[in-house]
């Protein structure tokens, strides 16, 4: 029988989470206390008597105050706590400059180098569109390309539609319209697409091709062009244009590239209270290794770092980075306030079922996936990253919107942690899925790439699991398929559009 076990993150914590699969029964004696009721796995237990109004501490921070008296051994959940106010965005001090760790120079991967120096992890034909009206036509064309053309070009990994719901019926000149427009522009430039793209336009939409691609129009098929007589003529034009790109892409081959050419996006979704115990800390260790190797790591999700802004500011590499972090937090606070919402709207029913009482606790477990390196830059929504190192790429916490914005920022490989389980992935970049719990990894054996729950069930350490994640990232960047790629599943793009719809 597995011994009863609680996990306390720091000595100052007055709650700990249940490690045992299936939870612990009422009457279980553990850590010198007796459980008053059954407590599910990943949920919190009071380690000492807490008076009404007392601070409830996990990760060394106050995640809430006791709504009523909480005796030792009691299950602590969202009904037990009142959430604290968000931390102020003023008076935060940047920490001292951190010593640079020894660089890692011995790690490489096999990637596709582009003319601009960027390196892709996949060799994909991307077809973007200027308006959602053409999505059905493009989807039909993509299916035809996969069936009829792609088998002739063995060095091309896939063809994907950069589908979206934008382009018309919107206030195209509103100030916030620049966010979805630059997002679409920069997604088309992603290194996994080989440095060039093709586009399909309807012809009458507000988002005209010249506005989406102001520097130079890509290969363009316009469905309203008078040369198209009927549906098959439209499809023939798309297939003809696509074949020109397939010929070019098929001439590309993988070459050995330093790990400094990696651009990895980090995200968590369907999180539970073990996310910050197993998968996210281990991913943080892997993130440190990528940054030490000279690569780029993006972490995101404004509402899931907002309550740790003081931690982020202390890690800012410069005053400019610190100010940029605060600016993104303030912008998002105002955005939520316009919708009469705040950061507390983030936490889902599944998060709470997984032991996360509120957004404060969720944020503490989310931040740790960023590792410990200095934050070298901040990327605003829809912009492309222009530097290396650890970057905060400002996004909503929505899995789909976050992934879309990281794709626009230049991400070429996605790492996604989950405790509750989600089949989310992107077809545009390989998406590695990390399970926080071994039970989830067993049940979803063909959807999860790595079982980070082994930190609890098999004696793995954060460091050994982090090294395994790092090495899996390199192998995946070199062409090893993820579970999602083997199954052929992936989510559509989801644009962040804070602008008005007309």
Tens of pLDDT, residue by residue over 466-492, are 999 999 999 999 999 999 999 999 999
Q: Is residue 112 part of a domain?
A: no
Tens of pLDDT, residue by residue over 144-184, are 999 999 999 999 999 999 999 999 999 999 999 999 999 99
Q: pTM value?
A: 0.96
Q: Which residues pair with 54 in a beta bridge?
A: none
Q: Is residue 99 part of a domain?
A: no
Give yes or no for a contact between 133 and 167, defined as CB atoms under 8 angstroms apart. yes
Compute the distance between CA of residue 348 and CA of residue 354 in angstroms, rounded to an integer: 10
Domain boundary at 33, 65, 82, which?
82
Place of tokens 């939520």: 336
Closest CA to 74 of 40, 39, 42, 41: 39
Compute the distance between CA of residue 159 and CA of residue 240 in angstroms, rounded to an integer: 14
Q: Is residue 92 part of a domain?
A: no
**Which residues make Cβ contacts (< 8 Å) with residue 207, sequence separation at least 6?**
130, 131, 166, 167, 168, 172, 181, 184
Q: Is residue 22 part of a domain?
A: yes
Q: Is residue 100 part of a domain?
A: no
Give the angle 211-212-214 at the CA atoms, nearest 5°.
Answer: 60
Cβ atoms < 10 Å from Cβ of 381: 28
- Is residue 263 domain-shared with residue 333, that is, in the same domain? yes
Q: Is residue 102 part of a domain?
A: no
Q: Which structural domain, as residue segments, surrounds residue 14?
A: 6-82
Compute the distance between CA of residue 438 and CA of residue 444 in angstroms, rounded to an integer: 10
Tens of pLDDT, residue by residue over 303-362, are 999 999 999 999 999 999 999 999 999 999 999 999 999 999 999 999 999 999 999 999
Q: Is residue 169 part of a domain?
A: yes
């Amino acid at each position: 029988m597995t011994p009863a076990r609680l996990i306390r993150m720091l000595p100052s914590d007055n709650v700990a989470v249940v490690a045992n699969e299936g939870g612990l029964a009422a009457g279980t004696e553990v850590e010198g206390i007796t459980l008053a009721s059954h407590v599910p796995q990943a949920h919190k237990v009071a380690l000492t008597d807490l008076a009404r109004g007392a601070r409830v501490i996990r990760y060394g921070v106050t995640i809430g105050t006791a709504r009523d008296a909480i005796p030792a051994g009691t299950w602590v959940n969202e009904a037990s706590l009142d959430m604290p106010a968000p931390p102020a965005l003023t008076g935060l001090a940047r920490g001292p400059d951190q010593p640079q760790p020894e660089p890692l120079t011995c790690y490489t991967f096999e990637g596709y180098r582009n003319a601009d120096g960027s390196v892709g992890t996949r060799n994909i034909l991307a077809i973007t569109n200027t308006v959602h009206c053409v999505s059905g036509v493009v989807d039909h064309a993509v299916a035809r390309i996969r069936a009829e053309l792609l088998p002739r070009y063995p060095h091309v990994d896939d063809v994907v539609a950069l589908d979206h719901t934008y382009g018309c019926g919107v206030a195209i000149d509103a100030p916030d319209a620049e966010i979805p427009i630059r997002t679409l522009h920069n997604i088309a430039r992603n290194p996994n697409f080989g440095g060039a793209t093709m586009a399909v336009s309807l012809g009458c939409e507000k988002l005209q091709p010249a506005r989406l691609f102001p520097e130079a129009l890509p290969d363009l098929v316009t469905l309203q062009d008078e040369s198209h007589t009927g549906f098959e003529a439209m499809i023939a034009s798309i297939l003809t244009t696509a074949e020109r790109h397939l010929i070019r892409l098929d001439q590309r081959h993988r070459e050995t590239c330093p790990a400094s050419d990696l651009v990895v996006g980090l995200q968590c979704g369907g999180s539970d209270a073990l996310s910050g115990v197993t998968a996210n800390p281990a991913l943080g260790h892997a993130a440190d290794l990528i940054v030490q190797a000279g690569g780029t790591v993006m972490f995101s999700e404004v509402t899931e770092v907002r309550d740790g802004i003081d931690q982020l500011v202390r890690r800012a590499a410069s005053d400019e980075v610190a100010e940029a972090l605060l600016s993104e937090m303030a912008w998002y606070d105002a955005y939520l306030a316009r919708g009469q919402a705040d950061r507390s709207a983030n936490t889902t029913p599944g998060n709470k079922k997984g032991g996360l009482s509120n957004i404060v606790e969720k944020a503490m477990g989310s931040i740790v996936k960023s590792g410990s390196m200095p934050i070298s830059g901040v990327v605003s929504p829809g912009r492309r990253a222009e530097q290396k190192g650890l970057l905060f790429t400002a996004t909503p916490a929505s899995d789909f919107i976050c992934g879309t914005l990281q794709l626009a920022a230049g991400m070429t490989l996605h790492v996604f942690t989950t405790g509750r389980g989600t089949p989310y992935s992107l077809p545009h970049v390989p998406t590695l899925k990390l399970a926080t719990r071994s039970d989830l990894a067993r049940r979803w054996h063909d959807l999860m790439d790595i079982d980070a729950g082994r930190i609890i069930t098999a004696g793995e350490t954060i460091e050994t699991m982090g090294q395994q994640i790092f090495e899996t990232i390199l192998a995946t960047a070199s062409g090893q398929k993820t579970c999602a790629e083997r199954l052929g599943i992936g989510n559509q793009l989801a644009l962040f559009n804070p602008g008005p719809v007309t």
